Chains A and B, each alone.
Chain A
Amino acid sequence: MVISYVFRRFLQMVPTFLGATLLAFLIIQAAPGDFTDRFALDPNIDPEQLQRMRERFALDQPVLVQYANWMWSIVRYGYFGESFSYRAPVDAVIYPLVLNSMSLVVVSLFFTYLLTIPIAVYSAVRQYSIGDKVVTFLSFLGLAIPNFFFILVLITGVLLMQPTLREVAGSGTVLEQVLRPITYDIDRGLAFPVGGMRTSQVYEGLSPLGRLQDRMWHLVLPVLVVTTASLASLVRVLRGQMLEYLRSDFVRTASAKGLHPRTVVYKHALRNALNPLISGIGTLLPSLIGGAGLVEFVIRWPGITPAFVAAVKAQDLYIVMGLLTVSAVLLMLGNFLSDVLLGLVDPRIRYS
């Protein structure tokens, strides 16, 4: 039964995928000018690249035939076309970008869910307590502060601490002994890295463990920013759900039976309240990808969004189209995953 549900849900993705890619394709087609002609005259364009595209994409055919060709070459060869600004096939360009962005998004997603549940449960169980009010207040703040502004403020904070930390680094005191292992680079006065994905000067020379550690350091600030954004909205949703279920009849029954309050809260109320959170993975993903995007831009994280913006500015259309397609696929996979999970935890959905 579960397998047939998963299969049905998978089949539903096919028309959506075709629709979304067609939309992406049409947007790019709507861009003014016949760009293959423009490229053919441009001496900076690699003629080999143009030749490769002509062979695969049949660029002189009607739009729908072109779309079919484009789709076919993606499915069959993983070929998205050529990037003229990178002078390389699109797939080779975007593959590392997608990986970099996903590392940021997946880690943030993990922390979001890890933190949402305890905070929201606490806030709902102790409604109107001081702690609940603080949580509500903070989640309003978290909703209103733009990601890119928040990361700028954090960077300001780190940089303002720099002179003090530098002094500590030269002092040889106990404080230095304490701070050295818990700061990123105390000799330069940096408590956290403020840009990039890794320390470019030394990264190649590091051991595998050192590399991992270096990457984790660089994840701290962006993950903090991206997590708080999604945390703020999820906590509000889950708190509302919890409040509703805590007042419901079956929870009252459970308490009246004499069950332990913890069992009532976690096994009866939370179990039901979690549903929108699970289906929320699907809607959370696009906002995470988008929200992480501006953060990536500020801290020069080599992810999807900075490359997307650069491609838009350089009118590198096949990169734009490739990234649109890949992000749509990621989104659909996220939706698929959340629906399957929802089907697993909630039998009502499986059978409808």
Chain B
Amino acid sequence: MTDRGSDPAAATQAPLPEAVAAPSPGPAAPLGTSQSSIVWGQFRKHRLAMFSLYLMAALYGAALFADFIAPYGEGQSFRRGEMNRSYAPPTTIYWTDPETGRLTRPYVHPVAPVRDAQTLRVAYVEDRTRAYPIRFFVEGRPYVPPPLSLVPVGIRNALGWDWSATTRLYGVEFPATIYLWGADQFGRDVFGRVLFGARISLTIGILASLIALVLGTILGGIAGYVGGVVDDVIMRLVEVFATIPSLFLLLALRALFPIEINPTAIFVVLVTILGFISWGSIARVVRGLALSLREEEYVLAAKALGGRDARVLLRHVLPGTAAYAIVAFSLLIPSFILTEAGLSFLGLGISEPASSWGLMLAVAQEGGIQTFTQRPWMLLPGLFIFIAVLGFNFLGDGLRDALDPKLRK
């Protein structure tokens, strides 16, 4: 369902096969420079791509350390009585002392929900008499820090150690609350949930692309290298998959699984389905490359020396498609990020209490007109989808230029 985003096959059309066929280094390559350092040197000249690289690194870093950066836990809500913070607006941070007017350490005022008697809307009124300084490296809700959090819960419990940490980057004391980007309907921190959502939104793309890449290169390689009936069967399969609009194929496959399943299971299901339906375009191009590569003399030499087919394919033919594969991989990721967001938006992807950017937008949309006029911060996750997709597109462009000898400067 690439509603927007890039079509990896179309984006890498013409130049790459030549990149494979003519691996001569560009004019800038001195003797003894490895292929990867040439490519890296080229890539660094692409300013937008380098900027995107830093940006994506920052996003992934923030996602990895979301527990530490966010002041509250992923599902930590404030929705009862005096502590009701449903749809609380972004907290105002004060930098100056109200009496002297001089800079002080940043502080916030606690807010209290006040219901308007006529409109029945809840407004949040600041209590200017009390000030709570923003503290750094405070104690918060316990969490398991990365990389320990990657260990499955079952093993953690079996070992019985206490692996949790409680230090968080910033926070304020109760009853004050700090919401950099406002709160959602349950009074959960939108800033934190954007970071927690990044974990899912950004990893689904990579994992699903990996599956599509492996399936696509291997099946495409086999089709091109073996040829004959095998080729026919695989390519007809690609055609059949391409005949059903991928959004509907995705939805139909999703229908095979229960709607309400736990977040981990749905994550696995989504990654598998996405990878499974998207290998076709890669397979088609890899097949074309394999068709021409198998006529190369070095492949003939490998066969003449008695290499088995599987070995020749894996060691000699498929590496020749690497340049295409890397670019296709980097351009598939953004389309999967969009797809996951769309699916979660439709209510068929990641479900509460876990968070993902698409799901957060779905909540925003359910809020109706008020979302747009009174709590626009609920739309922020959309901006992150946008940034991530743009970043990956630039990265892919930079990679393609760097891997293409014709474009070397």
Contact partner of A294 among B3, B248, B376, B390, CB < 8 A?
B3
B358-392 interface mask toward A, CB cutoff 8 Å, 1 = contact, 0 = none? 00010011000100110010010010011101100
Q: Are A290 and B244 in contact (CB under 8 A)?
A: no
Find residues 227-261 in chain B having any chain A CB closer than 8 Å to their own CB.
236-237, 239-249, 251-256, 259
- A327 and B249 CA atoms in complex are apart in Å by 10
A98 within 8 A of B: no
Residues on B with C-beta less than 8 A from A83 are none
B265 within 8 A of A: no
Spot the interface stretch: B147-155, B342-350, B401-409.
B342-350
Q: Are B393 and A312 in contact (CB under 8 A)?
A: no
- A222 and B345 CA atoms in complex are apart in Å by 17
Q: Shortest CB–CB separation between residue B143 and chain A, in angstroms?
A: 30
Residues on B with C-beta less than 8 A from A286 are 242, 245-247
- A293 and B23 CA atoms in complex are apart in Å by 43
Residue of B nearest to A291 (CB): B3
Q: Shortest CB–CB separation between residue A106 and chain B, in angstroms?
A: 15
A103 within 8 A of B: no
Q: Shortest CB–CB separation between residue B221 and chain A, in angstroms?
A: 22
Residue of B nearest to A237 (CB): B10
Q: Are B4 and A144 in contact (CB under 8 A)?
A: yes
B294-336 interface mask toward A, CB cutoff 8 Å, 1 = contact, 0 = none? 0000000000000000000000000000000000000000100
Q: Are A143 and B389 in contact (CB under 8 A)?
A: yes
Contact partner of A149 among B243, B348, B373, B379, CB < 8 A?
B379
A324 within 8 A of B: yes
B273-291 interface mask toward A, CB cutoff 8 Å, 1 = contact, 0 = none? 0000000000000000000
- A317 and B4 CA atoms in complex are apart in Å by 28
Contact partner of B372 among A19, A146, A159, A290, CB < 8 A?
A159
Q: Are B247 and A149 in contact (CB under 8 A)?
A: no
- A146 and B382 CA atoms in complex are apart in Å by 8
A171 within 8 A of B: no
Give chain A's interface residue range (CB within 8 Å of chain B): 35 or more
Residues on B with C-beta less than 8 A from A17 are 243
- A141 and B394 CA atoms in complex are apart in Å by 11
Residue of B nearest to A149 (CB): B382
- A55 and B169 CA atoms in complex are apart in Å by 67
Q: Are A146 and B2 in contact (CB under 8 A)?
A: no
Q: Shortest CB–CB separation between residue A103 and chain B, in angstroms?
A: 17
Provided the pairs A145-B4, A146-B342, A328-B244 are in contact, do residues A19 and B393 lie with their beta carbons within 8 angstroms? no
Residues on B with C-beta less than 8 A from A332 are 243
Which residue among A17, A32, A309, A317 has the maximum number of chain B CB atoms within 10 Å of its CB? A309
B338 within 8 A of A: yes
Size of the chain B interface, CB-CB below 8 angstroms: 52
Contact partner of B240 among A23, A140, A145, A232, CB < 8 A?
A23
Q: Are B4 and A331 in contact (CB under 8 A)?
A: no
Provided the pairs A309-B251, A324-B244 are in contact, do residues A290 and B3 lie with their beta carbons within 8 angstroms? yes
A34-47 interface mask toward B, CB cutoff 8 Å, 1 = contact, 0 = none? 00000000000000
- A156 and B377 CA atoms in complex are apart in Å by 12
Residues on B with C-beta less than 8 A from A291 are 1, 3-4
Q: Shortest CB–CB separation between residue B351 and chain A, in angstroms?
A: 12
B7 within 8 A of A: yes
Q: Shortest CB–CB separation between residue B9 and chain A, in angstroms?
A: 9
Q: Are B244 and A20 in contact (CB under 8 A)?
A: yes
Residues on B with C-beta less than 8 A from A123 are none
A24 within 8 A of B: yes
Q: Are A20 and B240 in contact (CB under 8 A)?
A: yes
- A286 and B278 CA atoms in complex are apart in Å by 13
Interchain residue pairs with CB less than 8 A apart (28): A16-B240, A16-B243, A19-B237, A19-B239, A19-B240, A23-B241, A27-B255, A31-B255, A140-B393, A144-B386, A146-B389, A147-B4, A148-B345, A148-B365, A149-B361, A159-B369, A159-B372, A286-B247, A290-B245, A291-B1, A294-B3, A294-B342, A308-B248, A312-B348, A313-B347, A315-B255, A320-B252, A331-B245
Task: List residues of chain A with CB under 8 Å of any chain B CB.
Answer: 15-17, 19-20, 22-24, 27-28, 30-32, 140-149, 152-153, 155-156, 159-160, 162, 229, 232-233, 237, 283, 285-287, 289-291, 293-294, 297-298, 304-305, 308-309, 311-313, 315, 317, 320, 323-324, 327-328, 331-332
List 18 other contacts, CB 8 Å, given A32-B256, A152-B372, A152-B382: A142-B4, A143-B4, A144-B390, A146-B4, A146-B382, A147-B3, A149-B379, A160-B372, A286-B245, A287-B3, A294-B342, A297-B345, A298-B365, A304-B248, A309-B347, A315-B255, A320-B255, A324-B248
